[in-house]
Amino acid sequence: EVQLVESGGGLVQPGGSLRLSCAASGFTFSNFAMNWVRQAPGKGLEWLSYIRSSGTTIYYADSVRGRFTISRDNAKNSLYLQMNSLRAEDTAVYYCVRESGSGSYSQYWGQGTLVTVSS
Amino acid sequence: DIVMTQSPDSLAVSLGERATINCKSSQSVLSSSNNKNFLAWYQQKPGQPPKLLISWASTRESGVPDRFSGSGSRTDFTLTISSLQAEDVAVYYCQQYYSTLYTFGQGTKLEIK
């Protein structure tokens, strides 16, 4: 069974930093591209970042480019999101998402971790 | 970026009736290399993460009831629930994965009339 478990969320002050982690199990992590998607309270879904299975190709949404860094450790079956210069508008539930092996759609989602940016 | 626009924003349908949600992309998501539309539909129930329903515009994910169907091509897509059940109350999102900057529609909230 595919499992994605996010951690690292919490309360942080504006301008601060936070590192999210996603522990993957139930599949060969190194074979799949991964994404981060967030959802602000009461709002829709926003795709944030993509990383290829090998880690060699990375994309970001304009809203986080230059502030957030996606990375992965295939030996540890883990995905990360380093978030710097956090703003109030970054307050959201952050989801770790695994792509399908046959297309770039989001096949499996974690339960999410809440990040609150507030003073 | 490809902009995805869903309509309506909310929808109330009687149990057993048909529900139709539309999704329009600002540019074609049909690939000439494999003749597939890079469009997915997701269902999100309160307090839960989204769940993949349909990929490639019309391919139902394993385990998804056959009352859910997807159609359309290029820029115009539709998610249809043929006979609404109480458990279908949720917010539905479309997403394009044609561009490397994936984008979602704003969501359509489906309720029981």
Residues of B in contact with A109 (CB under 8 A): 49-51
User: What CA–CA distance (Å, rounded) separates A1 from B22?
Assistant: 32
Q: Kindly report which listed range (A9-13, A102-106, B39-43, B70-74) carries the lowest average pLDDT score.
A: A102-106
Using one digit for the tens of pLDDT, what is the confidence trace for A35-90? 999 999 999 999 999 999 999 999 999 999 999 999 999 999 999 999 999 999 99
Which residues lie closer than 8 Å to B88 by C-beta, 6 or more apart? B19, B43, B81, B110
Q: How confident is the model at residue A113 (pLDDT cuts 50, 70, 90)?
A: very high
B52 to A106: CB separation less than 8 angstroms, yes or no: yes
Using one digit for the tens of pLDDT, what is the confidence trace for B38-75? 999 999 999 999 999 999 999 999 999 999 999 999 99
User: What CA–CA distance (Å, rounded) separates B113 from B106?
Assistant: 22
Residue type (1 letter), B50: P
A107 to B56: CB separation less than 8 angstroms, yes or no: no
CA distances from A111 to A4, A5, B50 (A): 8, 7, 9
